[in-house]
Amino acid sequence: MKHLSTIFFFALALSGMGQNMNLRINEIIASNQAGQMDDFFEYDDWVEIYNPPGSGITNLAGYYISDDPDSLDKWMIPADDAGVTTVLPNNFIVFWIDDDYGNANPQGADHNAGFTLSTDGETFLLTAPDGVTIIDSVTYPVMAPDISWGRTCDGCDSWQYFNNVTFDDNNVEIQNTDFLFINEVQTNNVSTYDDPQHEFEQWFEIYNPNTHQVNLANYYISINGDVQQWQVPATSPYRTVIPAGGFTLIWCDNDVADDVNHAPFTLPTDGGMITITGPDGTSAVDSYTYGNIPTDHSYGRQTDGSATSIEFNTPTPTVSNSLIIIEPQNILINEILTANQTDTLDNLGELEDWIELYNPNNVDINVGGYYMSDDPLVRNKWKIPTDFPDSVIVPAHGWLLFWADADEQQGVRHAGFRLSNNGEYLSLVGQDGFTLADELEWGYIAPDTSLGRITDGSETWFLFVGTTPEYSNNAGTINVLESQMTSMTVYPNPAHDIIRFNEMINVQVMNIAGQLVLSASQATQLDLSELENGMYVLRDDHGRIARILKQ
């Protein structure tokens, strides 16, 4: 038997010497949080490859996988174990995209070295042993936790999201009807809570009481009418997945172009009934009746999912109706780096994105239990751990750095998400998981360029090519192009008393806390003699800015 087994695996190894051009990338999961574990009991990302009928037994040893079209030979599947790198015809093979093969304790030939998958979407490629011939590739979209992106049928051309992930099996979508509650409604939202487009729109909240996540995609929602009035699109599970015990909002603004969670109707302000029906179009999920609700108040279940409803003076969209509001301390997002290529190493010697917080107060502040998020509709996405309080104290008038690397196992200051340099959102939220301490939005930021307040805590933001992690922004080097576009001529600098301009301007002077300390109209010079020594920012009515040092 041992002799036969050796012959079998030798045959498998020989079978991989050719190039099987029929192999197909079949299914991908880029956010495996509670789905299929690998042999080491880890929830890692994975890619399934399908070998169609009639293609022959294929050993993928020597083939390449990559997430970079400019580096097709990024990782070669090793020839260590033909038993885990060989796929039979009309069968599947799974590779764990976990960066674990080349570690000190490698996890095997089906665990890749060198990269993991991005939840923001990217291109995955399978390349032949020659390192240049692309056998198959797929560009997948933004991924939600435990939702896969796969071919509609094994090996076919069309792709879709799968709620029931089909690890190492045929791609077939099955979506059950789950238990959900309409939990809270707001019909007159003037200043309570704005959507990602910064519009104060009507909304209602859905609560998932289950111990598993529910994807609201394909469910039906109606207002006072046909139960199949509107079907929630299945094109963006990032917006429609409701975590276990969690909440999501449906914006009722008649603006479906905004996102998949924006309904093509508005809510009657004098009262009405909201109905949710299952994906089959007939199974009743929940109905909720509301009346006339005062401006900036909401109406909802007294406790999440309960039969009793009350009016809320302080609405609680996306969080529990039992929430106790806790006002956060005055802590600010001060500087961020969204593409760290050569800038600063973390505690493990890795180049990761980072977030700097600043404490403008006279006392130290422990931010353990606060939250950070890169999603404006999920403010409690990542909770700053409280296990090691000394590590999460922002000193008085000082700074603290957090690593946005989606690798919480590396320390209490490693956030559970990454930042995008193509434009994104960041919030710092108090211990109630809802009340904002600070928030920030940005567009494209070049690698190794940070976005920071021009002086610590001020309201004006600049791009810095000389970053200042855990140091004062007052010493940062402003991006050259931005400086050329927005600077004004001020001399001398540093200055003692009088500064001069090369033209007549209206000017404001702010201290490092962003407070206005001096202003002048139609001025060609300015007397700073009454100001304390230190760094100041000048801004004119054309938006031009200069930073000066008074000595």
In the chain, where are the structural domains located?
A: 2-162, 181-312, 332-474, 487-550
What is the per-residue pLDDT across 126-136, written as a single tens digit (0 to 9) for each?
999 999 999 99
Distance of CA 128 to the CA centre of its chain: 33
Q: How many CB atoms lie within 10 A of CB 1?
A: 5
- For residue 196, whether the previous peptide bond is cis, meaning omega lies within 30 degrees of 0, is no
With beta carbons less than 8 A apart as the criterion, state whether 331 and 394 touch. Answer: yes
Strands 262-263 and 247-252: parallel
Predicted confidence at residue 110, as pLDDT, reads 93
Question: Which residues make beta-bridge pairs with 75?
Answer: 65
Rounded percentage of the chain residues whose pLDDT exceeds 90: 70
Average of per-residue pLDDT across 137-145: 94
Q: Which residue has the tokens 């289950």?
A: 210
pTM reported for the whole predicted model: 0.79
Q: What DSSP element (H or E) covers 222?
A: strand 220-223
What is the per-residue pLDDT across 164-185, written as a single tens digit (0 to 9) for each?
899 999 999 889 999 999 999 9
Mean pLDDT of the chain: 90
Q: CA-to-CA distance for 240 and 275, rounded, in angstroms?
A: 17
pLDDT band at 512 (very low <50, low <70, confident <90, very high): low
| CATH classification for the domain delimited by 332-474, as one of 2.40.50, 2.60.40, 1.10.287, 3.90.1070 | 2.60.40
Selected residue with higher pLDDT from 149 and 507: 149
Please report which residue ranges of 376-518 form alpha helices under DSSP H. Answer: 480-486
Output DSSP code: residue 366: E
CA-wise closest residue to 398 among 338, 473, 452, 337 = 473
CA-wise closest residue to 155 among 54, 271, 264 = 54
Largest CA distance in the chain: 96
Predicted confidence at residue 14, as pLDDT, reads 44
- 2-162 and 332-474, same CATH topology: yes
| CATH classification for the domain delimited by 2-162, as one of 3.40.630.30, 2.60.40.1260, 3.40.50.970, 3.10.110.10 | 2.60.40.1260
Predicted confidence at residue 524, as pLDDT, reads 87
pLDDT band at 240 (very low <50, low <70, confident <90, very high): very high
Q: What DSSP element (H or E) covers 251?
A: strand 247-252
Q: CA-to-CA distance for 222 and 250, rounded, in angstroms?
A: 12
pLDDT band at 224 (very low <50, low <70, confident <90, very high): very high
What is the per-residue pLDDT across 377-387, written as a single tens digit (0 to 9) for each?
899 999 999 99
With beta carbons less than 8 A apart as the criterion, state whether 58 and 51 touch. Answer: yes
What is the per-residue pLDDT across 261-283, written as a single tens digit (0 to 9) for each?
999 999 999 999 999 999 999 99
CATH 2.60.40 fits 181-312, yes or no: yes
Strands (DSSP E) contained in 97-156 are 123-127, 134-139, 148-151
- Both tokens of 132, joined, read 């240049």
Output DSSP code: residue 409: G
With beta carbons less than 8 A apart as the criterion, state whether 384 and 401 touch. Answer: no
What region does 305 belong to: left with phi over 0, alpha with psi -120 to 50, or beta?
left
Average of per-residue pLDDT across 215-229: 95
Predicted confidence at residue 319, as pLDDT, reads 94
**327 pLDDT higher than 70:** yes
Q: How many CB atoms lie within 10 A of CB 219?
A: 25
With beta carbons less than 8 A apart as the criterion, state whether 410 and 393 touch. Answer: no
Query: Which architecture does CATH list for 487-550?
Result: Sandwich (2.60)
Q: CA-to-CA distance for 135 and 416, rounded, in angstroms?
A: 34
Predicted confidence at residue 516, as pLDDT, reads 79
Question: Which residues make beta-bridge pairs with 215?
Answer: 241
DSSP letter string, 270-293: T-EEEEEE-TTS--EEEEEEE---
With beta carbons less than 8 A apart as the criterion, state whether 172 and 166 touch. Answer: yes
Selected residue with higher pLDDT from 12 and 349: 349
- Both tokens of 27, joined, read 């299914």
CA-wise closest residue to 339 among 416, 423, 454 = 423
What is the per-residue pLDDT across 460-502, written as a single tens digit (0 to 9) for each?
888 888 899 999 987 666 664 454 445 677 888 888 889 988 8
Predicted confidence at residue 486, as pLDDT, reads 52
pLDDT band at 373 (very low <50, low <70, confident <90, very high): very high
What is the per-residue pLDDT across 296-308, written as a single tens digit (0 to 9) for each?
999 999 999 999 9
pLDDT band at 519 (very low <50, low <70, confident <90, very high): confident
Alpha-carbon dihedral sign for residues 390, 392, 398, 403 = positive
